Amino acid sequence: MGTTAPQPTTTAPTLWDRSRQAVVASIHDTAMRLFDEQGYEATTIAQIAKEAGISQRSLFRYFGTKEDIVCGEQDGFGEVLRETVEAQPAEATAWQALRAGLVAIMDAHGSPEQVLRIMGLIFGTPSLRARYVQKRLLWHEEVLPAVLARMPAGAADPELRAEAVLATVFACADAATEAWIRAGGQGDPAALYDEAVAAVRG
């Protein structure tokens, strides 16, 4: 019998919330346009602030670093992953539950075009790639208990197994993402992930 996905209680956003979201979206869109036009490394915080019509001090209220303009939304995806893994049917294996979690994260990113634009920038820029890896270490810690709970009963050293499965899933997700970027966004990222996992589990 499957588990039921949690139903979060939501409240209508306040005027302050909507105003903040509008400013964040404006900064992000401005920054991404500048990154497209002149490259990530060549674009400065001062340029982004000027183009967005705000001061640098104001920009730093919303984004602590330039990397966070691109990678900031990654913070919440660890929770998406954990909640999705926990919500899968009890009979689902750790592999199956994590795959569902990865699909949920892809859906949360937005349209395929948006995902390709953001992930292409992250994977193609060393400083952003490092920031992304740093944030995903937090995902690892957040979802590990849910993965551990799905290890077979009586398995030897279940924590080691859970760590290995999780690390392999992330590595396969990276391989699939890079293949998808190289193909210019052609194909299904989930299918590419399945190919990567099949190659590993072979």
Residue 93 tokens, joined: 């294996």
pLDDT at 18: 73
What 3 state SS string does 147-178 have?
HHCCCCCCCCCHHHHHHHHHHHHHHHHHHHHH
1-53 tens-digit pLDDT: 333 344 444 456 676 667 778 888 899 999 999 999 999 999 999 999 999 99
Structural domain containing residue 60 = 15-64
Q: Is residue 141 located within the same domain as residue 55? A: no
The pair of structure tokens assigned to 168 is 């392999």
Cβ atoms of 109 and 117 within 8 Å: the answer is no
Q: Poorest-confidence range of 10-14, 96-100, 136-140?
A: 10-14
- 96 with 156, same domain: the answer is yes
Q: Which residue do the tokens 């551990």 mark? A: 148
What domain count does the chain have?
A: 2
For the record, the structure tokens of 72 come out as: 């900031």
Q: Is residue 140 part of a domain?
A: yes
Say whether pLDDT at 86 is over 70: yes
pLDDT score at 71: 85
Residue 144: pLDDT band (50, 70, 90) is: very high
Task: Tell me which of 164 and 109 has the higher pLDDT.
Answer: 164
Position 95 in a domain: yes
> Residues 141-168, buried b or exposed e (16+ Cβ, 10 A)?
ebbbebbbebbeeeeeebeebbeebbeb
- Whether residue 155 has pLDDT greater than 80: no
Average pLDDT for 72-89: 90
Dmax of the chain from CA atoms? 60
